[in-house]
């Protein structure tokens, strides 16, 4: 069964120069916000003022396991011009990086089964955490393995520059 990662019902758009990505963690989809910075888990800087589409994936696009249960997936993706950015939003202190990376992997693997990732020139993935926006140690090996496997640059930070 085809999974449409570009379902209009799961999308919202903005040309704001600065906006946040939010996840209320109440089984509703993640979304763009331009006004309440206290809710922002990731901050997106859009200095080029391009139209950015955020597509909620978790709680909006069904990705099922073989047994019919819901697969874990990242919160959403940003698309603009020839770019795609997969985003996982976290609001926890422990073990969040490996959890976020796993959700990004599952989503990217499913996406590539249903869509041509090669249509995008620039491909990135972001693991963002509101509680840990800055990181005190390196994850270069995790980031290298991720890139070698998916040809997508992994960033572990809460600021996304368009």
For 68-82, write each residue's pLDDT tens digit: 899 999 999 999 999
For residue 138, give its domain range.
Answer: 8-161
**Statement: residue 136 has pLDDT above 80:** no
**What's the pLDDT score for residue 139?**
80
Q: Does the predicted TM-score (pTM) go above 0.85?
A: yes
Residues 6+ apart with CB under 8 A from 43: 18, 19, 20, 158, 159, 160
Q: What is the mean pLDDT of the chain?
A: 93
Of the candidates 46, 3, 1, 50, which has an alpha carbon nearest to the alpha carbon of residue 21? 46
CATH code of residue 104: 3.40.91
- Give the confidence band of 132 by pLDDT, cuts at 50, 70, 90: low
Q: Is residue 23 part of a domain?
A: yes
- Domains in the chain: how many in total? 1
What SS3 class is residue 157? coil
- Give the confidence band of 134 by pLDDT, cuts at 50, 70, 90: low
For 50-109, write each residue's pLDDT tens digit: 999 999 999 999 999 989 899 999 999 999 999 999 999 998 777 899 999 999 999 999
Taking residues 105-117, report their average pLDDT: 97
Q: Is residue 63 part of a domain?
A: yes
Q: Is residue 3 part of a domain?
A: no
């Amino acid at each position: 069964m085809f999974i449409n990662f570009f379902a209009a019902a799961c999308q919202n758009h903005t040309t704001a120069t600065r906006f946040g990505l939010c996840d209320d963690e109440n089984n509703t989809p993640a979304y763009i916000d331009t006004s309440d910075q206290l809710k922002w888990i990731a901050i997106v800087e859009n200095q080029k003022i391009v139209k950015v589409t955020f597509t909620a994936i978790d709680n909006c696009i069904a990705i099922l396991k073989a047994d019919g249960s819901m697969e874990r997936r990242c919160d959403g993706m940003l698309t603009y011009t020839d770019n795609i950015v997969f985003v996982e939003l976290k609001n926890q202190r422990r073990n969040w990086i490996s959890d976020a990376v796993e959700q990004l992997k599952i989503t990217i693997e499913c996406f590539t089964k249903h869509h041509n990732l090669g249509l995008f020139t620039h491909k990135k993935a972001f693991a963002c955490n509101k509680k840990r926006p800055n990181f005190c140690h390196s994850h270069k090996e995790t980031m290298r393995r991720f890139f070698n496997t998916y040809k997508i640059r992994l960033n572990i930070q809460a600021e996304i520059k368009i």
